[in-house]
Structure 1
Amino acid sequence: MNLFSTREMPSPSSLFSAYASMAASIMLFRSMANELIPQPVRGYVLSAIKYVFKTHSPKLTLVIEESSGMSRNQVYEAAEVYLCTKISSNTERIRVSKSPKGKNLTIRLEKGEKLVDFYEGIELKWKFLCTDSKQNNPNDPSPRSEKRYFELTFHMMHKEKVLGCYVPYVLERADAMKDEERVLKMYTLNANYPYNGIKWESINLEHPATFETLAMDQELKNAVIDDLNRFVKRKEFYKKVGRAWKRGYLLYGPPGTGKSSLVAAMANYLKFDVYDLQLANVLRDSDLRKLLLGTANRSILVIEDIDCTVDLPDRRHTDGKKQHDVQLTLSGLLNFIDGLWSSCGDERIIIFTTNHKDRLDPALLRPGRMDMHIHMSYCTYHGFKLLASNYLDIHNHHHLYGEIQDLLKETEVTPAHVAEELMKSEDVDTALEGLVKLLKRKKLEGDECEAEAEKKTAAKRQKTGNQQKKSVRNNRRIATKRSSKRLSARNPNLY
C-alpha cells in the first residue's frame, strides 16, 4: 500500500517554481539586509551565529607573529631556526640559501608548509603562513609588507605544558644553534622595502679587521679592549646603579685613520652584529624609534660622519620629499641614546664617527652619550711596524726603519696611505723605498705649506704694522691741527 498517491505528489514544474521563488526571496532579503543593516552589525550577527552552531574543538592554536608591537618577536625567530631541524620527508617545499662564505645551507619553511613535532609524548603541529597586510590609512602612500606568522596547534589539555616547558625549550635550542653557527651580520637600511618605507636588511659581516692587525697606538688599543671587556661583564652593575646597559664611543680624526676598521675590530672581538644607520634615509622620530627597536641585543649601532647629519632639521632632500615631511630631530636621536628609549635593549654599543669633532653639538659629547672619545691619529712608528708585518711579513729590523721613524715624526700621513704604498710591491726593499719617497714628498709638501703659511703670517704682520704706523701718523697730524686751532683761538694776533 502506497503512503502517497501519485495525484498527491507535486509535479517537477511546481518544485522548480517553488525553488525559484525561494531563491528570489532570499536574494531580495539579502540585498535589503545589505542596504539597511550596517556592515559591522552584519559581521557581529554572523559571528554570533557561527559561534552558536560551531562544534567546539579540543584543539588550541597559538599564533606567533613576526613582530610584537614595535619590537621583534623572539619566539618567532626561535621557531624559524628550530623548525629547520624538524623538516621531514613529508615536507613538500622549503627555502634554501647560502651566503658566499657561509659554511652550511640555511633552510627555512616555505609559506603554507606544515610539520609535526613531538615533545614528551605531545603532538604539536606547526604551520607557516604569510598574508598581505592591508593599508589602514588610505592617505599613506607607502604599502605595507606581508604579515608572516607561525601557527602552533595542540590538544588543549597540554596548554600549561606547552607554554611552560615546550616554548622555553624551543627558545633555548634556537639560542644554542645560533651560537654554533654564529655568523656576524651587517645590517643596513632598505628604503624601498614596503614597511613604512624602510627596514633593516642584512649581509654577512666578513671584515677581517682585528685588534691584532689594527694600526693604532698600542696604549690606546689596550684602553679600548679593557673598556669593552669591562662593559660586557657589568650587567649586574648597570642594573644596580639604574643605568641602561649600553656604551657610547666617539671616533674622531682625519679620513683614512682607521675609524671603520676599528668598528669592525670591535664587532669581531665581541661577536656583535653591526647596524649601519644612515640618518638621511629617516624622516621622522617615530621611524627612528621603530628602526632602533628593531636592533637586537649584543649589537653595535654605527652612525658615520655624524657631523654631516647632526643638523637634522635643516637637511636638504634630493628625492622630492617636502621639508614639512621631515620630522626627525636631534632631540629625538639624543632621547634614544640616553633617554627613556635607551632602556629598550641590553648590551648595546653606540658609535659615532666624525672627521671634525669641533663641529659637533656639545649635547652629543657629554658622558652618558659618548662615554669614551677615541682620537684616530696619523700613522705612528708603531703603527707602521704593524702594517709592515701584516703586508710584507717583516718581523725583524730593516735597515730603512730608522729613516722611516725619523720621517714619521715630521710627517702627517694616514695608515691607509701607508698601507696603500706597501701594497704596491711584494719585494720588501722596493716597497719600503717607495714609502721613504712618499714620506719625503709629504715632508717637502708640509715644509712648503709651512713656509707659505709663515710668508702669509709675516705679510699680514707687516700690513698690520704699516696700518698701525699710518694710523699713528694720522693721529699725530690731527692732534697738531687741533692744537693750532686752540692757540689761534686764544691769541689771534700770533697768526
Structure 2
Amino acid sequence: MFSIKDVPSTTSVLSAYSAFTATAMLVRTVINEVQSVTNQIIPKKFQDMILSKFGGLCGNGSRMTLTIDEFDGYSINQLYEASEIYLRTKINPSLNSLKVSKSAKENNFLLTINIGEKIVDVFEDVQLLWVMASDKTDEMPQNGRFEKRFIELSFHKKCMEKVLSSYLRYVMEISNAWKEENKVVKLYALGYFGGDSDSGGGGAWCSTNLDHPATFDKIAMDPIVKQALIDDLDRFVRRRDFYRTVGKAWKRGYLLYGPPGTGKSSLIAAMANYLKFSIYDLELASIYSNSELRRLLVSTSNRSILVIEDIDCSIELQNRQSGLYEPSESSQLTLSGLLNFIDGLWSSCGDERVIVFTTNHKERLDSALLRPGRMDKHIHMSYCTPSGFRILVSNYLGINDHDLFPDIDKLITEVQATPAEIAEELMKSEDANIALEGLIKFLERKKTESVEGVTEIGDNKRKAKEEIDVDENVNVIDDHDHDQQKAKKKRILMRDQAGLK
C-alpha cells in the first residue's frame, strides 16, 4: 500500500530537477556544436539529401506531394501566384535565405521566399510542408524563361481531402485579401529591363511599380468628357454578371486620339490609378507573329489595362480599303490576327480587361478596328480649352483666379495650344504673375505664327494645284505608254502633300 513516507521530499525533487535541467542543457549544447560542425563539413544540399533518404526509410511513403507549376499552359497558374503570396505571410526566423525589395513609394521592405527554402505550416491539426523550387532546362524557353519554377506542397495522404477542399481555398482567400490590402499598380513591358521578373505577368513580361501621379482631377480635358469616361469605367467594372448573361467577353476597348501633347499617356495612367489596374505596354513592333501575340495575351493578368500606343504607325497593318499594302518580311503579324486578339475567341481568355489604343491620326486606321466591340468608346483629346487651363494653373501654380485669366481664355480659344505646351510655360516661374505673362506672350506669338502659316499654306496650295493641273494634262498623253496606276498614285500623293481632297 502507498504510504506518505514513500513520497520524496521537496529537497530531493528540486535536486533531481536541477540535475535533469543541467543534463538537458549539456545535451542541447552538444547537439548545437555537432550541428555547427556538420554545417561546416557537409554542404546543406547533401544534408537535405541525407535527411530525405532517412525520411523515406521512416515512412515517407505515407506522404503526398502536390506540385504547383508557375504556368498552366500559356497563362499564369493562379494557385502558384496565390501560394507565393501566402508564403510571404509565413516568413519566420528559421529561414536562411530571403529576397528583399522596396519601391520608391513604399515605406516597408517586401520579403519573399527564395528558391530552395522550406516552410512548415499547420492548418486544423494538419502539418504541411512548402518548398520553393526551380528547374533550369536547356530546352525551348517556357513563356520567355529557360527556368521552370514550381512549388511543392507535401502532407500526410490521409489529409488529401481536407487539403484540396479547405486548405487550398484558405490559401486563395488569404492571398486575395493580401493583394487588396497591398495593391500596387504595376507597369509591364516585354523583356527584361531591370524590373521585377515576377509571376504576376508571366515570363515574357517584366514589371516595375507605376509611380505616375496622374489622377482624373489633374487631367486637363473637357469636364463632360472626363465624367463620361469615369462613369463608363464604373459601369464596366460592376457588370461582370451582365457580360456573362449577354454572352460577351468582360472587356472594354477605348481609342484615345488627338494631336501629340494632349495628355493621352497621362489619361491612361489616371485610368490605372483610378481602377487600381496594372498596365501592360504592348509594342506591336516587337511582336513577330500572330501566335506570339496570342501567347502574350493569355499571359496577362485579370483586372489590367492593355495599352497599344500609336497603333497607326507602330507596325504596317494592312488597310483593307487601300489595296496598297505589301507584307513586311520581318513580321508576320496581320490585321486579322490583331482583330482576333481584341475581339475574337482569344479575347475571352481573361476577365475584367481594358484595352486602350492611342493614335495621332484616327483617319489612318482601318474601319474594322474602329467599330464597337474593338474600340467601344472614342475619346478625342483636343487642344487646351479654358476649362483645361484652369486645371493646369491650379496644378502648377496653385491658384484658381487671376486678373490675367480673361486675356488667356480669349487667346486659348483663338490658337491651338496643347496642354503640354501650356504646362511648360507655367513651369518657367513659381511667381504666378511672371508665369502668366510669359504664357500670354507665348500664345500671342503662336497666334501670329498661325496667321502667317495660313497665308503660306494658301500660296502653296495654289502653286501645287497649278503643278497638278499641268501634270494631269501631260499624263493624258503619257498614259498610253506608261502605267496608268503609277500616274494615279503620283497625283494622289501630290494632292495629299498639298492638303487638297
Q: TM-score range by the shorter chain?
A: 0.7 to 0.9
Contact 1:191-1:198 at 8 Å conserved across structures:
no
Which aligned runs of 4 or more in structure 1 are off by greater than 3 angstroms? 53-56, 191-195, 322-325, 454-467
SS in structure 2 of the partner of residue 96 of structure 1: strand
Q: Deviations over 1:71-92 (max 9, x none)?
A: 1011111111111121222211
Q: 1:242 to 1:459 in 2, by over 3 A?
A: same
Contact 2:83-2:172 at 8 Å conserved across structures:
yes
Match of 2:126 among 80, 105, 122: 122
Match of 1:359 among 355, 358, 364: 364
Q: Which residue is equivalent to 2:64?
A: 60
Q: Which residue is equivalent to 1:206?
A: 211
1:201-280 alignment runs, 5 A limit: 201-280=206-285
The Cα shift of 1:104 comes to 2.1
1:400-479 alignment runs, 5 A limit: 400-457=404-461
SS in structure 2 of the partner of residue 77 of structure 1: helix
1:403 partner amino acid: D
RMSD of Structure 2 on Structure 1 (CA): 2.8
The Cα shift of 1:431 comes to 0.3
Structure-2 separation of matches of 1:136 and 1:404: 61
TM-score by length of 1: 0.77
Q: Deviations over 1:11-42 (max 9, x none)?
A: xxxxxxxxxxxxxxxxxxxxxxxxxxxxxxxx
SS in structure 1 of the partner of residue 106 of structure 2: coil
Contact 1:277-1:302 at 8 Å conserved across structures:
yes
Q: 1:57 to 1:458 in 2, by over 3 A?
A: closer
Match of 1:348 among 349, 353, 357: 353
Q: Which residue is equivalent to 1:476?
A: none
Q: Which residue is equivalent to 1:491?
A: none
Structure-2 separation of matches of 1:356 and 1:146: 42
2:357 partner amino acid: F
Structure-1 separation of matches of 2:169 and 2:157: 18
2:104 pairs with 1:78 = no
Q: Which residue is equivalent to 1:178?
A: 179
1:62 partner amino acid: L
Structure-2 separation of matches of 1:67 and 1:332: 24
2:436 partner amino acid: L
2:116 pairs with 1:112 = yes
Q: Which residue is equivalent to 2:150?
A: 149
Structure-2 separation of matches of 1:130 and 1:417: 51
Structure-1 separation of matches of 2:277 and 2:464: 54
Q: Which residue is equivalent to 1:9?
A: none
The Cα shift of 1:143 comes to 8.6
Structure-1 separation of matches of 2:345 and 2:144: 30
Contact 2:144-2:204 at 8 Å conserved across structures:
no
Q: Which residue is equivalent to 2:43?
A: none
Q: Which residue is equivalent to 1:391?
A: 396
Structure-1 separation of matches of 2:97 and 2:60: 32
Contact 1:186-1:273 at 8 Å conserved across structures:
yes
% identical equivalent positions: 55
Structure-1 separation of matches of 2:102 and 2:153: 28
Number of residue-to-residue matches in the alignment:
403
1:152-163 alignment runs, 5 A limit: 152-163=153-164
Structure-1 separation of matches of 2:364 and 2:341: 21
Structure-2 separation of matches of 1:426 and 1:207: 22
Contact 2:204-2:296 at 8 Å conserved across structures:
yes
Contact 1:133-1:144 at 8 Å conserved across structures:
no
1:171 partner amino acid: M
Q: Which residue is equivalent to 1:487?
A: none
Q: Deviations over 1:31-59 (max 9, x none)?
A: xxxxxxxxxxxxxxxxxxxxxx9988110
Structure-2 separation of matches of 1:464 and 1:168: 73
Match of 1:101 among 93, 102, 105: 105
SS in structure 1 of the partner of residue 416 of structure 2: coil
Contact 1:189-1:198 at 8 Å conserved across structures:
no
Q: 1:462 to 1:121 in 2, by over 3 A?
A: closer
Gaps of 5+ in 2: 1-56, 320-326, 472-501
Q: 1:64 to 1:313 in 2, by over 3 A?
A: farther
Q: Which residue is equivalent to 1:380?
A: 385
Contact 1:305-1:355 at 8 Å conserved across structures:
yes
Structure-2 separation of matches of 1:130 and 1:216: 49
TM-score by length of 2: 0.76
Contact 2:82-2:176 at 8 Å conserved across structures:
yes
The Cα shift of 1:282 comes to 1.1
Contact 1:310-1:330 at 8 Å conserved across structures:
no
Q: Deviations over 1:376-405 (max 9, x none)?
A: 000001000110111111122x11111111
Q: 1:285 to 1:116 in 2, by over 3 A?
A: same
Structure-2 separation of matches of 1:87 and 1:127: 13
The Cα shift of 1:134 comes to 2.9
2:244 partner amino acid: K
1:172 partner amino acid: E
Q: 1:389 to 1:132 in 2, by over 3 A?
A: same
